């Protein structure tokens, strides 16, 4: 696997190294020892999927507070997403900064999202599926979020004719109120 650190310290874009042959290819997308060797959390303990019927579906920006903060390893297994992370760490020089990546079934990239980040995505294709590997466990009482269009963040989402969102996500607070 090829690990590329993003401009938001601690977050990595990961590209599988393909081992091709006449059948197709084989590639690893997870190695506890390779993650640990880079100082990344190797204790991913849950997996989840998000299926989205329509292009333009937006989920996020979500995170969990202590003691249930989560590290996420995100991969798009069908379709494509515009994946956004926001640094919420109080002691970070990039606090409040965001970065986006296109993850797709075609490019097979993964995004390592450390604890202390909000995460969200917008689908770029119909029938998009996103696979998550997570640390800890989901704790609804500790689940939080930030508005996708918070003017203080200025996330530049791809334009869509119709944005599909949950009512919960539409009512999330701006970053300052969310903390």
Catalytic residue annotation: 62, 132
Two tokens at 97? 């900064």
How many CB atoms neighbour CB 39 within 10 A?
8
Two tokens at 167? 């009512």
The CA–CA distances, whole Å, from 74 to 51, 56, 62, 81 equal 13, 18, 13, 11
CA–CA distance, 86 with 89 (Å, rounded to integer): 9
* 13, β-bridge pairs: 4, 111
CA–CA distance, 85 with 120 (Å, rounded to integer): 7
* 144, β-bridge pairs: 63
């Amino acid at each position: 696997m090829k690990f590329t650190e993003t401009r938001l310290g601690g977050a990595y874009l990961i590209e599988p190294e393909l081992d091709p042959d006449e059948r197709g290819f084989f590639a690893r997308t997870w190695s506890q020892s390779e993650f640990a060797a880079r100082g990344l959390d190797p204790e991913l303990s849950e997996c989840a999927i998000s299926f989205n019927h329509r292009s333009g579906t937006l989920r996020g920006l979500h995170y969990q507070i202590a003691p249930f903060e989560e590290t996420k390893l995100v991969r798009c297994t069908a379709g494509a997403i515009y994946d956004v992370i926001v640094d919420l760490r109080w002691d970070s020089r990039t606090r409040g900064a965001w970065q986006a990546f296109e993850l797709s079934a075609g490019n097979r990239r993964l995004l390592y999202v450390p604890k202390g980040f909000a995460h969200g995505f917008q689908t770029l294709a119909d029938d998009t599926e996103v696979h998550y590997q997570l640390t800890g466990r989901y704790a609804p009482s500790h689940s939080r979020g930030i508005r996708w269009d918070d003017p203080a963040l200025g996330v530049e989402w791809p334009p869509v004719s119709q944005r599909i969102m949950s009512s919960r996500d539409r009512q999330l607070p701006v970053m300052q109120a969310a903390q």
